[in-house]
Structure formats: C-alpha cells, structure tokens
Chains A and B, each alone.
Chain A
Amino acid sequence: MNIENIEIIRIGVYATSILLILIGLYAVLTKKSLIKIIIGLSIIDGGIHLLLIGIGYIKNGTAPIFSPGFENASAQMVDPVPQALVLTAIVIGFGVTAVALALIIRLYRHHNTLKIDEIKNLKW
C-alpha cells in the first residue's frame, strides 16, 4: 500500500466518524421519540469512539499485544492509549444509556407518551 491509500483509509475513518456524529445529532435534534433520541446519543458516542480509535492508527500497525518472540515489536504497534480510553468511554456511555432507558420507562409511566414535546411540565 502506498501513502495515499493510507491517507484515504485514515480520512475515511475520520469522515465516517464525523458523519456518525452528525447523524446522531440529527436524531437527537429532530426525532420526537425519546427512544430515538437515546439512539441518537448512542450513535454520537459510536462516532466519537471511532474517532478516538482512529487517532491511534499508524501505518501497517499491529495490535499492541506482545506475542512470544515479538517483544521488541513496539515500533510497529498502534497507539494503545486510545484503545484503553475507548474501553472506558464505551462503558461510561453504556452506563448513561442504561440510566436514560430507565428514565424513559419512568417517563412513560408518568406521561403515558414517549413524545418529547409533550413532556414539558417543567419550564420557564
């Protein structure tokens, strides 16, 4: 592979993740259903996690795991830090989503609807 191809891969990853963020934002900003809004948030999260992974990419990189006999292969390894971060970020995103879903159940119990514009008892 030559350099241009690598750039294309990298930019492709970035572009995809930006696109995911925008799609998620679109869902959050326009969809009326609470569930869809949460899905939108998850999509944003997904995009950001992809972006985070993407910045660790290096040309011809390998996984940052040392196998027997390859103890000195660190130069070829991709950046492990974003991977560790993304692990944490995913779990946190998961926790938030779980709480959000529970809140939606509560909201449905209380308002008998999932439309966000009908749930505004609190305002001004």
Chain B
Amino acid sequence: MKKTIVILLLAAFGYFLAITFLDPDFEKDRNRNGVKNVYLEKTVSELKTANTVTAIVVNFRGFDTLGEVTVLFLAASALGSILFKKRHHVGERSITLPASSIVSTGAKLLFPAIILLGVYVFVHGHLTPGGGFQGGTIIATGFLLMLISYRNFSISHNILSVIESLAGILFVVIGLMGFINGGTFLQNFMPTGTLNNLFSGGIIPIIYILVGFKVATELTGLIYTILHEKG
C-alpha cells in the first residue's frame, strides 16, 4: 500500500522532472555563451593551465574548493566526534579475519605503486585529467588496502591530523598571500610558466597538491576511524 503510494508520487515527480529536462526546448534556448568561454580562454592565456577543470576548481572557483576541503575536514572531525566514546581506548578492529597471504603480499607489492600513482595524479592535476581529489582518493585506497590486509597496520592519528591541518592551513595561507600580494583572496601571485609544463599555472598545482594531501589524510583517517569502530 505504502509502496504503491510512493510509486505514484514518484511517478508524478518523475513526470515533472521529465517535462523539465526532456523537453526539446530545454536545449534550444540555452545560453551557450556563459562563463564557460571565458574560462576556456583565460585558462590558456592567463593561468597557463592545461586542464581547464583544474583551473576552475582551484582558481576561478577556488573558494568552493576551500569550502569543499572544509567539508571533508568537518566530515572527518564529525566522524571522530560522533563515534567518540567516553572510555578512550582504541577499539578492536571490526574485521577480524586475517587476510590470505596472497592478499597481504599483493598489498605490500601494490601499496607503493598506488601511492606513487596517487602522487602522480595530484601533482599533474593541472595538466591531465586528475588532481588533488582524485589523487588523494587513490592514496587513501592504498591505505585502505593495507588496513584490510594487515590487522596490525596502524597509522599514527597525530601524524594524520598534523598533515591534514598543515595542508589546510597552507591552503588558506596561500589564499591570504594572494590577498596580500594581488589584492584578492586566492589570487595568483606566482609566475605562471608556459602551458603544459609541470611548473606552470602559478599557485594552482601547489594548492592542488595541498588538497591532495588533505584528501588523502582525511580519507585515510575516515577509514581508520570506521574500521576501529566496534558496531
């Protein structure tokens, strides 16, 4: 009964979404000369960043990214706070089954490669598809792999939080340096170099690397917290 009602409701809702998005007029009247063209043009001419998406994420809409990093930071803190227990002891890991030797050996083998890949992805964020978030996530998967392969694998929470904090602080400080040098927050104050070089794009790669660190440590921290949670 309830399901039927819900299905009917959703059908109606879907109908309204459909007449909005599937209407041929939806494409016809679109303004195709919005900010997009400016972004594409300025990315090359002023920021010298090959990857426009990165330029947008880090520079044009860098403020969003700062907020986004804050959201991640908040999520990690919130996890700690929500799962916080009065008796402060490190819980037993929930996953108690030992991994098979194939997995553990493979993990050992793969771990450096994954880290390396992650680092590559966020260092080349301004040149190739990829960037801090993607790279950070990859690194976190490396740690996830280690955590599920080795029961005793542990990471110092302090180190994680120091890296995390430092990355965040530096992000804001770079933003503020732009503020001091150029007059606006997050404004580029470094030479932009030439397009398609590793050292190009001004502060973009630096920020993206910081984001990479932050995402990696935060995701690892998240995984670590949840893994050590006894349900």
Q: Do chains A and B touch in the complex (CB under 8 A)?
A: yes
Binding site for B on A (CB under 8 A): 7, 10-11, 14-15, 18-19, 21-22, 25-26, 29-30, 51, 58, 63-68, 71, 74, 77, 79-81, 83-85, 87-88, 90-92, 94-96, 98-99, 101-103, 105-106, 108-109
**Do the beta carbons of B196 and A109 come within 8 Å of each other?**
no
CA distance A102 to B36 in the complex (A): 38
Q: List the 8 closest A-B pairs by CB distance, nearest first.
A: A95-B75, A74-B40, A84-B56, A64-B52, A80-B52, A102-B82, A95-B71, A14-B21
**Do the beta carbons of A95 and B74 come within 8 Å of each other?**
yes
Query: Would you mind naming 16 contact pairs between A and B with Cβ atoms under 8 Å apart?
Result: A14-B22, A29-B6, A30-B6, A65-B52, A66-B44, A81-B34, A81-B39, A83-B56, A88-B61, A88-B64, A95-B72, A98-B226, A99-B75, A101-B226, A102-B78, A102-B225
Q: Is B89 engaged at the interface, CB distance under 8 Å to the other chain?
A: no
Known: A66-B196, A77-B52, A84-B57. A11 touches B22 (CB 8 A): yes
Contacts of A94 in B (CB 8 A): 72, 75
CA distance A2 to B85 in the complex (A): 62
Contacts of A11 in B (CB 8 A): 22
Contacts of B153 in A (CB 8 A): none
Contacts of A65 in B (CB 8 A): 50-53, 127-129
Q: Is B7 engaged at the interface, CB distance under 8 Å to the other chain?
A: yes
Known: A80-B56, A87-B53, A103-B82. A74 touches B17 (CB 8 A): no
**Do the beta carbons of B51 and A102 come within 8 Å of each other?**
no
Q: Among A21, A79, A84, A106, point to the contact of B83 (Cβ < 8 A).
A: A106
Number of B residues, CB within 8 Å of A: 58
Contacts of B127 in A (CB 8 A): 65
What total of A-B pairs shows CB separation below 8 Å? 137
Q: Among B41, B78, B133, point to the contact of A99 (Cβ < 8 A).
A: B78
Type the 1/0 row for B85-127, where 1 means its CB is closer than 8 Å to any CB of A. Answer: 0000000000000000000000000000000000000000001
Contacts of A30 in B (CB 8 A): 2-3, 6
Determine chain A's interface SS by DSSP, over half rule.
helix
Q: Is B14 engaged at the interface, CB distance under 8 Å to the other chain?
A: yes
Q: Among A66, A74, A98, point to the contact of B79 (Cβ < 8 A).
A: A98
CA distance A30 to B79 in the complex (A): 27
Contacts of A108 in B (CB 8 A): 231
**Do the beta carbons of A80 and B39 come within 8 Å of each other?**
yes
**Do the beta carbons of B79 and A99 come within 8 Å of each other?**
yes
Contacts of A67 in B (CB 8 A): 50, 196
B76 → chain A, closest Cβ, in Å? 8
Known: A11-B22, A26-B6, A66-B52. A87 touches B133 (CB 8 A): yes
- Besides the known contacts A66-B196, A99-B79, A102-B78, 4 further A-B residue pairs in the complex with CB atoms under 8 A apart: A80-B53, A81-B35, A88-B65, A98-B76
